[in-house]
Amino acid sequence: PYQRQVYDLFLPENLREDLQKKSEAARQILQPGVHLPSLQHYHSLVPLDTKIRGATNTFGLPSWVFKATSRKNGNVFCLRRIEGFRLTNEEAIKAVNSWKKIIHPNIVTTIEAFTTRDFNDSSLVFVHSYHPLSKTLAEHHFSTNRFGRPTAVPERVLWSYLVQLASALKAIHKAKLAARCIDISKVIITEKNRIRLSACSIQDVLHFEVPRRIEELQQEDFFSLGRLILSIATNTPPRNLGDLRLPLEQLGRTYSIELKERISWLLSPPQNMATKTAEHLVYDLAQHADDVLVASLDTEDELTTHLGRELENGRLVRLVAKLGSINERPEFDGDPNWAETAERYTLKLFRDYVFHQVDSQGSPVVDLGHIISCLNKLDAGIDEKIYLTSRDHQSTFVVSYKELKKQLQGAFSELLKAGSKTQANRSY
C-alpha cells in the first residue's frame, strides 16, 4: 500500500524553482562596499528599480523602490522613497491609517509611512508588503527586450485582470477610499496571472493639501481600469492611446463583444444620475469571476497536495536522522560496540537493506522508490516481514517492520535520555 511513483513525491520543477528564486531574492543582500542608509528599523536596503528614472513619473516626483529587512521581526518589506518631498502638514501622513486596514489578496498591504533625512534630503517613505520578483504590468506586457511582435494577450487573462481589480476596487470603495493608482506601472504581477495594486495610499498623502471629492476619485478609478485593460489589449502604452475610440475599435476586432462593452462602460463619462459602482462591475463580471474562482480553487488544491508531500518528505527525513544517529555510532555510554550489538545490529542490517540493495550480480540497485517504500513501512510499523542478511552472508533474520520500529524507538530514546535534556526538542 506504500508504493507511490517517485515523480509524485517531488514538487514540480518549475514551482520549486520559482519558490527558490523568490526566497533567494528575499534573502539577497548588496555586495559589501555599496552602502544605503538604514531607515528607522528597516536595514539592509536593496534597490528594486529596474530602470533609471526621469524626474516625472506616476507621482510627479522621483521615486525609488527598495526591499529592506525589519529589525523588529526579521521580515522583508517593500519601501518606496519619494525623493524631495517636504511634508508641510503632519496630518497628511495619517492618511495611511485607513489604508492599513485594507487587507485584500489583490492589494499590496500598506504598513506605514514616515519622513526621513537619511538620504540627505527630505524624503517620504512608504512601507508596503514585499512580493519577491514581482513585475509591473508594464514590465510584463511591454518588455522592450522582446523580439518580434508580441503575441496577443489571451482574453481570459484580461477577464482575470478585470475580475481581480474589480474585487480590489470593491474593497477599497467600500472603505470610502479610492485607489488612485490603477496604472500599468503600479499594478504588479506576483504569481502567474495574479495581480495586485502596489502603491495604495501614496497619492492620498502627496495630495493631502488639495483634497478632492472621494466620489469623483472613485469614478476615475473605473476610467483608469478601462484604460489599463485597453492599453494591454491593444498592446499600446497608455501615453500612446490618444483618442480612446480608436483603440476601442481595435480591441473589438480581436476580442469578444462582451469585453468591448465592459471596457466602454468603464471608459464612459460619468452620468450624473448613474454613477458607477464596484458592485455593479462585480455583477457584470460574474461569469468570469466564476472562472477565476475555479482556477483559484484548483490552485489551492494543488498547493495543498504539494504541501502534504513536502511534509511527508520531512517525516522521512526525521526517520533517516534517527536511523543515522544510531547506525555506525562510534561509541555510546563508554561502549564502542553499542551500534553493533543487540537491536542496533538489526537496525544496521536494515540500513543495508534499505540503502545498499544489490542485484544478483552484486551491482548496486539505486531505487529511490524502494528506499521510500521501506521507510514508509517502517514509519507505519506494519506487520510485513523482511529477511535481513549479515554482511558476511552467514546469518539471516526474519523481522517485521513493527519490530523494527520498536527497536528504532528503543535505541533512539536511549540516545535521547543520555543527551542533554535541553537538546531533546520537539523536532524528533
Ligand X SMILES: Nc1ncnc2c1ncn2[C@@H]1O[C@H](COP(=O)(O)OP(=O)(O)OP(=O)(O)O)[C@@H](O)[C@H]1O
Cα separation, 77 vs 69, in Å, equals: 6
Contact 248, 265 (CB under 8 A): no
Q: Give me the sign of the Cα torsion angle 188, 133, 310, 420.
A: negative
Please tell me whether residue 380 binds a copy of itself under the rule CB under 8 A. Answer: yes
Per-residue b or e along 130-156, where b marks 16 or more CB atoms closer than 10 Å to that residue's CB:
bbbebebbbbbbbeeeeeeeeeebeee
The amino acid at 323: L
A 10 A CB-CB count for 163 gives 22
Residue of the chain from 34, 175, 214, 307 that contacts a copy of itself (CB under 8 A): 307
Q: Which CB sits closer to ligand X, 36 or 48?
A: 48
The amino acid at 275: T
Only segment of 51-59, 78-86, 166-174, 241-249 that touches a copy of itself (CB under 8 A): 166-174
Q: Which CB sits closer to a copy of itself, 2 or 265?
A: 2
**Binds 188: which of ligand X, a copy of itself, none (CB < 5-8 Å by kind):** ligand X
Least Å distance between CB 145 and a copy of itself? 28
Site for a copy of itself in 20-49 (CB under 8 A): 20, 22-23, 27, 29, 32, 43-44
Phi-psi label, residue 111: left if phi above 0, alpha if psi -120 to 50, beta otherwise: alpha
Instruction: Count CA atoms closer than 13 A to 376's CA, side-chain side.
Output: 15
Please tell me whether residue 128 binds ligand X under the rule CB under 6 A. Answer: yes
The amino acid at 89: N
Please tell me whether residue 173 binds ligand X under the rule CB under 6 A. Answer: no
Please tell me whether residue 177 binds ligand X under the rule CB under 6 A. Answer: no
Q: What is the DSSP letter of 80?
A: E
For helices 401-418 and 368-380, what crossing angle results, to 10°?
80
The amino acid at 239: R
**Binds 136: which of ligand X, a copy of itself, none (CB < 5-8 Å by kind):** ligand X
Cα separation, 195 vs 193, in Å, equals: 6
**Binds 404: which of a copy of itself, ligand X, none (CB < 5-8 Å by kind):** none
Number of residues assigned to the chain: 428
Please tell me whether residue 299 binds a copy of itself under the rule CB under 8 A. Answer: yes
**Binds 292: which of a copy of itself, ligand X, none (CB < 5-8 Å by kind):** a copy of itself
**Binds 220: which of a copy of itself, ligand X, none (CB < 5-8 Å by kind):** none
Please tell me whether residue 292 binds a copy of itself under the rule CB under 8 A. Answer: yes
Please tell me whether residue 134 binds a copy of itself under the rule CB under 8 A. Answer: no
Closest alpha carbon to 131 in 204, 91, 75, 210: 75
Residue of the chain from 175, 214, 342, 366 that contacts a copy of itself (CB under 8 A): 366
Residue of the chain from 269, 330, 334, 362 that contacts a copy of itself (CB under 8 A): 330
Cα separation, 265 vs 284, in Å, equals: 10
**Binds 78: which of a copy of itself, ligand X, none (CB < 5-8 Å by kind):** ligand X
Q: Give the number of residues in contact with ligand X, rule: CB under 6 A.
A: 24
Please tell me whether residue 170 binds a copy of itself under the rule CB under 8 A. Answer: yes
Site for ligand X in 182-241 (CB under 6 A): 185-186, 188, 198
The amino acid at 67: K
Interior angle at CA 381, CA 377 and CA 386, nearest 5:
65
x-or-dash string of contact with ligand X, 63-102, rule CB under 6 A: x-x------------x------------------------
Please tell me whether residue 135 binds a copy of itself under the rule CB under 8 A. Answer: no
Site for ligand X in 8-67 (CB under 6 A): 48-51, 53, 57-58, 63, 65
Residue with the three cell numbers 495610499: 201
Q: Which CB sits closer to a copy of itself, 53 or 315?
A: 315
Cα separation, 343 vs 338, in Å, equals: 10
Q: Which CB sits closer to ligand X, 11 or 48?
A: 48
Cell for 351? Answer: 540500513
Chain residues that interact with ligand X, rule: CB under 6 A: 48-51, 53, 57-58, 63, 65, 78, 108, 128-131, 134-136, 138-139, 185-186, 188, 198
